[in-house]
Amino acid sequence: MLTREDNELICQTGPGTPMGRVLRRYWHPCLLSADLPNNDGPPVQVKILGEDLVAFRDGEGRVGLIGERCPHRGASLYYGLNGGGGLMCIYHGWKFDADGNCVDMPSDMPGSRFLEKVHTTAYPVVESAGMVWAYMGPRELQPPLPDFLFNRLPPEQVVAAKSPVYCNYLQSIEGNIDSSHLGTLHRRHADFTLEPDETDRPGVPSAHQRSYLLAHYRFAEINVQDTAYGFRLIGMRPTDAGHRHLRITSHVFPVCSMIASPGVASGTFFIVPTDDENCMRFFVRCNPDRPITDDERASTYAENTIMDPADPRRRLKRADNEYLIDRAVQRTTLVSGIWPNPEQDYAVTESMGRIVDRTREHLYSADGAIIRLRQLMIRAAKGLDEGIDLPALDPAIPYHLIRSEEVIVREDDDSWLAGADAGETARPGERLW
């Protein structure tokens, strides 16, 4: 459990807060490129780290991310007219370009140069992997965009989706790195009656075998290994044939988790705070060998973005409609009674409350990765003003080699060598930060 003070420390991310200052030292996805499909198209509202912003794509295709309030008298630029090199406030015609410069002030007296004194908040952005990334920290400390594998691939080999989550960002991240819930939350009743198949041997298990193992070995030995980019967690389960089933999730500090799956094309989550009680869950999948098919792309969207047709800004399945849980299905088919998997995660993490009271928890050995994440977050928030280095900002880190893994290994194999392509050398229990 945490003290109330430490819980507030790592959950509060607005401007000027210790955790907010830490998170602003990193690049974060803030919207999808598809949210701004056309040059000079309508702007969109973006809320991130407690700041109200608007994004727009100018006539040259450049994306701007600027403060929502016009610096004149505070009218919302969301209602502005995009065109002619900037976003024009419809109140008095003040126009701002992607760098936040006021480039036109038609309501001012002829010959006046007052517009040269006016500037609005503007953050650096980069488009990559189907997303718009923002850096909101000090310009002199701006790091390069993380060189993830999906940032190296052409657009046709990457798919990105997003969904709002109605709780504090840390709850959602902790759900991603919680390996022990796989034996309950995401299980079908039929999984508990499965039999092992011929892939219970060293190598990649079949989907059938993975379901069997998670249902029949609901416990997992959880170990955490610090790395240059954050940490890896390994969930180890025995197999009937005497081997070990490994699920390795790599967490890139502060908000990126590469969820355990076979090979290099794992699913990656970025959980970005909207404000202290909400976050945005970005999901990225890539295929380094071939383009993603239309069916695969549609399937990714269908599973990860289920919005309310009556209000496309809200998720369809929410607490106020009990996530459309089907109690008959829960009794006979799905343990959760909720479908698909992401909605199951939302239901449990949101049911904790907007900000869970971590003073009332009872953590056990399966929560090793969650404990380590909190330790890193607290250390970063408390140590920023003391000159303590933040994790995952070294430009020498080979981001493109960081990956997850799910594999069966022999009992005498070194589990920590699996998926260790990014130079992971620390031993279990060793602390780098």
Q: In the prediction, which pLDDT does 426 show?
A: 80
pLDDT < 50 regions, the chain: none
46 and 187 inside one domain: no
Residue 433 lies in a domain: no
Residue 187 lies in a domain: yes
Closest CA to 209 of 407, 415, 341: 407
Tell me how far apart the alpha carbons of residues 433 and 426 are, in angstroms, rounded to a whole number: 12
Residue after which a domain boundary falls, among 141, 176, 200: 141
CATH label of the domain that carries residue 346: 3.90.380.10
Residue 266 lies in a domain: yes
116 and 158 inside one domain: no
Q: In the prediction, which pLDDT does 83 show?
A: 98
Residues with Cβ within 8 Å of 215's Cβ and at least 6 positions away in sequence, in order, are 183, 187, 191, 192, 194
Q: Which residues form the domain of 78?
A: 27-141
Q: In the prediction, which pLDDT does 274 show?
A: 98
Residues with Cβ within 8 Å of 93's Cβ and at least 6 positions away in sequence, in order, are 104, 105, 106, 107
Residue 364 lies in a domain: yes
Domain count, the chain: 2
Q: In the prediction, which pLDDT does 122 show?
A: 98
Where would I find the beta strands (DSSP E) of 37-181? 44-48, 51-57, 63-67, 81-82, 87-88, 95-96, 102-104, 125-128, 131-135, 158-165
154 and 94 inside one domain: no
Residue 426 lies in a domain: no
DSSP 112-142: --GGGG-B--B--EEEETTEEEEE-S-GGGP
CATH label of the domain that carries residue 88: 2.102.10.10
Rounded to two decimals, the pTM is 0.97
164 and 135 inside one domain: no
Tell me how far apart the alpha carbons of residues 19 and 378 are, in angstroms, rounded to a whole number: 8
107 and 171 inside one domain: no
Q: In the prediction, which pLDDT does 263 show?
A: 80
137 and 216 inside one domain: no
Q: In the prediction, which pLDDT does 428 show?
A: 80
234 and 192 inside one domain: yes
276 and 231 inside one domain: yes
Q: In the prediction, which pLDDT does 266 show?
A: 73
Residue 17 lies in a domain: no
Residue 248 lies in a domain: yes
Give 63-121 pLDDT, tens digit per residue.
999 999 999 999 999 999 999 999 999 999 999 999 999 999 999 999 999 999 999 99
Residues with Cβ within 8 Å of 94's Cβ and at least 6 positions away in sequence, in order, are 70, 71, 72, 88, 102, 104, 105, 107, 115, 118
Residue 104 lies in a domain: yes
68 and 160 inside one domain: no
Residue after which a domain boundary falls, among 141, 164, 191: 141
Residue after which a domain boundary falls, among 141, 171, 187: 141
186 and 240 inside one domain: yes
312 and 388 inside one domain: yes
313 and 190 inside one domain: yes
